[in-house]
Structure formats: structure tokens, C-alpha cells
Structure 1
């Protein structure tokens, strides 16, 4: 199997977690506390993955200055884009707390929800594609982190759109499209950057890592805390330790 095709399939697998979460949110009444717990665990997994695989690898290949600049650019880009999207209704795309979007909010924010999910998923998928280029296979920790963090996003958003009266075709069409886009991002990341200078790949990896960390701090942990409260830190720590253990054993 060609490297770029393998990368695309791994990206599609990670993106399929959005569909898995959407299916759970559509057909089952998942307690919000469970969604929040998964979100907190996923936050810990993501922090571990970006610390021990993304930023560390970027610094070793591209140097501290390039990594730092890329990391800050990624964080700033996420914060700015997330704020712009929140004004268009995307602030509820990962909501696990007591507030749920009204019918008007949910119906009017379909495009914003999709763009918000892409905002999270595209950088993660590109990193997955880049991890395959080294010849050692996909980064297992990053794959697990992206997969786990995608589940509560699809779950909470699908449940909200169902309450707003959206059809199953609309809901699953949105998330299937996003999953395919994630696969495409991983494929293109591997295809277009194959043979690129190590410093270029390092900067791109650092940009993605900065965006992911900003997303964890701005979205995942605060919204998980609304339901898991004092257990949020413990659950996040368990997620971090689990990913760290997988990375060391991998």
C-alpha cells in the first residue's frame, strides 16, 4: 500500500469517530456526565500526544525557535477562528453542560458546526498523515488521541441537532462529510509533504500542536468541568497517563 493511501485511511479512521459519536447521540440517550467524562479523558490523551510526539519531534527536527513560533501561530489561529465561529453559532458544537442550543440556534448553525469540527479535525489529520512519512507507521498515540476526542464532539452535536428537528440524512451527511475531509487532509498531508525539508514538517507539526492545545484549553476541559466538576482533573490525568503508557510501550 502506498504511503499516501495509508495516511488517508488512518485519517478516515480517526474522523470516523465523529460518525460513531453522532450515531450514539442520535440513537441513545447518553448521560451528559458520560460525554463530559469522555471529553476530559480525551483532553488528557491529546495533551500527552502533543507533548511527547508532536512538539518533541518538531523541536528535534526543526529547532526550538521554529517550533516555538509554529506553536504560537497555531494557538493564535485556533483562538481567532474559534471566536469568529462562536459568533456564528458554533460555540455549541461540543457543549456537554446544562445548556443546549435552542431550535433556532441548532438549525441556524449547521454550517458553523461543520466548519468548527473541521477546524479541530484538519490539523489533527494532517499530523496523522505526516506521522506515516517516517516509515515507522502511524503515530498510535496521536491516532488514539484524535479518535477519542472526536467521539464527544459528534455525540453532543448530533443530539442537539436531533432535538432541533434535523433529519438523520442531514446529521449523518454532515458528519460523514467531515470524516471524509479528515481522511483527505491526512492523505494530502502525506502526499504533498513527502520529501519536504524536515524543518518545514516540524513547523507544520508545531502549528497543529499549538492549535490542538488551544482547543483543549478553550473547549474540552472547561466544558467537561461543567459536568465532571472536581473529577475533571483526575479523569484528564488518567487520560494523559494512559496515552503516555501507550507511547512508551509502542
Structure 2
């Protein structure tokens, strides 16, 4: 459990790194969008080859299909609730966060990261081996996410220290989610663990397609497609070396 929590923290720690970059070394909005698209491509590849493929090998098509669709539905409904509560612009870099509620922004950001953390913990259940490619994908994708959101929160008038504490708390909660995910499912049926992995994959894919990529395209334009493809290729290459 502690090993799972450690790796969950390792993946989530880049949220703080991205926040520091956004607050004290802000990049041009186009560069932020390109980095976001690169991270999204890395995650898409990892979801396909590090989560879904391995989950299919354990539980078969029925378990992964049900898990994937339930994960997508759960994120969709959660995202809808968070958006209505005022967290719609939580990843924007132009200061739109001032239009929403801080609590909804925090809740939405936490909701975005929990499926990734659970997936890290559950991946250790499959033979006790960690998918370091997936941890690296989570680490890389978190940087542009917190970077962009931190720039927007700062422009909306939030104090830097509060922004940093928010990301630190989310990183710690990510570690807890990984550890608890491992502890709760230890000894569980392989079909269940495969379904949970697919559930996380469905939530991640829905998050990428409904929040991360549209916002990246809005700021970066047509180049976003190339950046996403490059991220996908990078993760695919690493997973086959």
C-alpha cells in the first residue's frame, strides 16, 4: 500500500512543479497549449497500451467494456455537476476562474486526477509490477494541467501561496487514492481489478476529450493535433523499448 501511495505521489508531484512554472515562469499561452496537447497524447497512448491492453489480458472484453463505459459515464456526470457549481474554467489560463467558485474548481481538479492515481495503485495488483510508463505519462500530463490552471487562477486574483497549497493538497490526496486503491482491491477477483483499470481509463479519456484537448485547441490552434500525435508516439516508443 505504501509503495502504491509513493508512486501516486510521484505522479501527482508534478502538479506542484507545473504550478511553480505557471506562477513564476509563465509561458506564452500557445506554448502552454502545446505542452498540454503533448501530455494528452502521452496519456492517450498509456491508457491504450498500459491500462486497457493489460486489463483486457486479465479480465477479457466484457470486464473492460463495462468498466470503460462506467468510467466515462461517471466522469461525465461528475464534470457536469462541477461545471454547474462553478468549476467549468478550472484549466483555463486566461483568468476565467474568477467567474466560478473556488471550491468547485478544487473539486473538479481533484476529480480529474483521482482516476489516474487509482490506476497507479491498481496496476501494482497485476503481478506486483508497476507500469513506470503510466506513472511517467501521469507526471508529464499533470505539468501543463496545473501550469495552465495556475496562470488562470493568478490572473483571477488568487494568491500564489493558496494556489500552491491547493496543488500540494491534491498531490497528497492522489497518493492516498493510489494507496487506498491498492489496499481495497488487494486479493480481489481479476475481473474486478481489470474493470477498475478500465473504469480509470474511461474517466481519463473522457477528461481528455471534454476538457484538456478542447482548451488546448482553443489556445494553440491546428498545431495541437501535431503535438498530441508526438506525445502519443513518445509514450508508445517508450512502452516498446
Q: In which range does the TM-score fall when normalised by the shorter chain? A: over 0.9
Structure 2 partner of 1:239: 231
Structure 2 partner of 1:37: 34
The offset of 1:230, in angstroms, is: 1.6
Q: 1:226 aligned to 2:223?
A: no
Q: For the Cα contact (< 8 Å) 2:59–2:190, is it kept in 1?
A: yes
SS at match of 1:196: coil
Structure 2 partner of 1:100: 95
Q: For the Cα contact (< 8 Å) 1:21–1:155, is it kept in 2?
A: yes
Q: For the Cα contact (< 8 Å) 1:140–1:247, is it kept in 2?
A: no
Structure 1 partner of 2:76: 79
The offset of 1:42, in angstroms, is: 0.9
The offset of 1:195, in angstroms, is: 1.3
1:22-171 map, 5 Å: 22-96=19-93, 99-101=94-96, 103=98, 105=99, 108-135=100-127, 137-171=129-163
1:183-198 map, 5 Å: 183-198=175-190
The offset of 1:21, in angstroms, is: 0.9
Q: What is the TM-score with the length of structure 1 in the denominator?
A: 0.91
The offset of 1:147, in angstroms, is: 1.1
Q: Which runs of 5+ in 1 are unaligned?
A: none
- Per-residue CA deviation, residues 111-164 of structure 1 (Å, 9 max, x unaligned), is 111111111111110111112233453212211221111112211222222223
SS at match of 2:27: coil
Q: What is the TM-score with the length of structure 2 in the denominator?
A: 0.95
SS at match of 1:93: coil
CA distance, structure 1, for counterparts of residue 45 and residue 57 of structure 2:
17
The offset of 1:225, in angstroms, is: 1.0
- Per-residue CA deviation, residues 162-204 of structure 1 (Å, 9 max, x unaligned), is 2233223311111111000000011111122111111110110
1:205-220 map, 5 Å: 205-220=197-212
Provide the aligned C-alpha RMSD in A. 1.5
CA distance, structure 2, for counterparts of residue 94 and residue 102 of structure 1:
8
The offset of 1:81, in angstroms, is: 0.9
CA distance, structure 1, for counterparts of residue 226 and residue 156 of structure 2:
34
Q: For the Cα contact (< 8 Å) 1:93–1:153, is it kept in 2?
A: no
1:12-31 map, 5 Å: 12-31=9-28
The offset of 1:102, in angstroms, is: 6.0
- Per-residue CA deviation, residues 57-104 of structure 1 (Å, 9 max, x unaligned), is 1112111112111101111111111111112221111124xx53164x
Question: How many residue pairs end up in the alignment?
Answer: 241
Q: Which runs of 5+ in 2 are unaligned?
A: none
Worse-matched range after superposition: 37-46 or 146-155? 146-155
